[in-house]
């Protein structure tokens, strides 16, 4: 894709205030994740105070039931939650692009078979399947990513297939076919450049969904018990009686707030990117 087109996309995106807010939120969380050792005052895995200390002094969000600093857990949890969300979204969109491009370009029986597989994945009840898969593969960092990727690739595949169906009817693609251009060249020079923008918007939305799924699985006790994600913070808070004391205010509320804020950042960015691809959405706004 030429630089002029990317410049046009950025001009349209930067004119959307909500999109810029979303980008700002994402940049903020990325900085926190990178600079976690500099921001967090303590090691999140070490006992540094007495249990259930209220916020104040050097403990900005108090301590949990074993005396660990909750603010430090929250800061380091940004790394795990972001990492899982981005890696899972990357794998999910990669599978979705592969299936969508093959299905849309080749059509016929290949398209029919792959779309039936997509339909099957989409119609299976999501929550029971998510819990079943997570319980089957076991709690670990990579297993959670595997479960999320398996559950979220189908929807992007359908969207990308639609884009490929539109692209392959264009005159320049038909001209390339008529002169005997091989399939690899057509896909690389004509199909992929048209798929990349919509794949990026799907990636952003998939990352937000992946972060929510990880938090849900961890809250249910199916996440990696050795990683300090926001979901595991919520799980231990719920399991160790935070709701029965005033500790929920500083132990449960902050992870919920930052999780919601990050998902909103991804959502605003993703929906603003969709407006670039669909001018009718900009007119509606």
pLDDT of the chain along its 285 residues, tens only? 566 666 766 676 677 788 788 889 999 999 999 998 999 888 888 888 888 888 887 888 888 888 888 899 999 999 988 999 999 999 999 999 999 988 888 888 888 999 998 988 888 877 777 878 877 877 788 888 888 888 888 889 998 988 888 888 777 777 777 777 777 777 777 788 888 888 888 898 899 889 988 888 888 888 777 788 888 888 888 887 777 777 777 888 888 899 999 999 988 888 887 777 665 555 555
The pTM is what?
0.85
Distance CA 164, CA 191 (A): 7
For 1, what's the count of Cα atoms within 13 Å in the CB-facing half-sphere? 14
How many CB atoms lie under 10 A from the CB of residue 177?
A: 13
Distance CA 199, CA 134 (A): 26
- As given in the structure block, the two tokens for residue 8 are 């046009």
Output the CA–CA distances (angstroms, integers) from residue 265 to 181, 204, 271, in the order listed.
Answer: 42, 10, 10
Distance CA 34, CA 29 (A): 9
Q: pLDDT for 94-116, tens place per residue?
A: 999 999 988 888 888 888 999 99
How many CB atoms lie under 10 A from the CB of residue 191?
A: 20
CATH of 32-284, one of 3.10.20.30, 1.10.3720.10, 1.10.220.10, 1.10.8.10: 1.10.3720.10
Output the CA–CA distances (angstroms, integers) from residue 59 to 54, 69, 255, in the order listed.
Answer: 8, 6, 16
In contact, 191 and 152? CB cutoff 8 Å: no
Sign of torsion over alpha carbons 49, 41, 226, 152: positive
Q: pLDDT for 24-82, tens place per residue?
A: 999 999 999 999 899 988 888 888 888 888 888 788 888 888 888 889 999 999 998 89
First to last CA, the chain: 27
Q: Which residues of 72-110 are buried (b: 16+ CB within 10 A; e: fewer)?
A: bbbbbbbbbbbbbbbbbbbbbbebbbebbbbbbbeeeee
Triad 132, 101, 23: Cα angle to 5°: 75
- Residue 91's pLDDT is 94
């Amino acid at each position: 894709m030429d630089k002029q087109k990317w410049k046009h996309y950025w001009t349209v995106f930067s004119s959307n205030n909500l999109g810029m807010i979303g980008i700002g939120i994402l940049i903020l969380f990325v900085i926190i994740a990178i600079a976690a050792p500099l921001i967090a005052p303590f090691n999140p895995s070490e006992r540094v105070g007495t249990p259930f200390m209220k916020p104040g002094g050097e403990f900005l969000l108090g301590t949990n039931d074993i005396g660990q600093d909750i603010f430090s857990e929250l800061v380091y949890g940004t790394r795990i939650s972001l990492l899982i969300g981005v890696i899972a979204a990357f794998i999910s969109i990669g599978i979705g692009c592969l299936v969508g491009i093959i299905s849309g370009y080749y059509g016929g029986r290949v398209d029919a078979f792959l779309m039936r597989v997509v339909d099957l994945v989409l119609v299976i009840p999501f929550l029971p399947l998510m819990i079943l898969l997570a319980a089957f593969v076991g709690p670990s960092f990579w297993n959670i990513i595997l479960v999320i990727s398996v559950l979220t690739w189908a929807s992007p595949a359908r969207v990308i297939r639609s884009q490929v169906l539109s692209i392959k009817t264009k005159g320049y693609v038909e001209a390339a076919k008529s002169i005997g251009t091989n399939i690899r060249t057509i896909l690389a020079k004509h199909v992929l450049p048209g798929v990349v923008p919509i794949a990026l918007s799907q990636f952003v939305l998939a990352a937000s969904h992946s972060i929510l799924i990880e938090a849900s699985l961890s809250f249910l006790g199916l996440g990696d018990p050795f990683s300090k994600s926001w979901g595991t913070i919520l799980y231990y808070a719920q399991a160790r009686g935070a709701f029965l004391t005033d500790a929920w205010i500083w132990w449960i509320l902050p992870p919920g707030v930052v999780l919601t804020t990050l998902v909103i950042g991804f959502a605003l960015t993703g929906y603003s990117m969709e407006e670039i691809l669909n001018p009718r959405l900009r007119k509606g706004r």
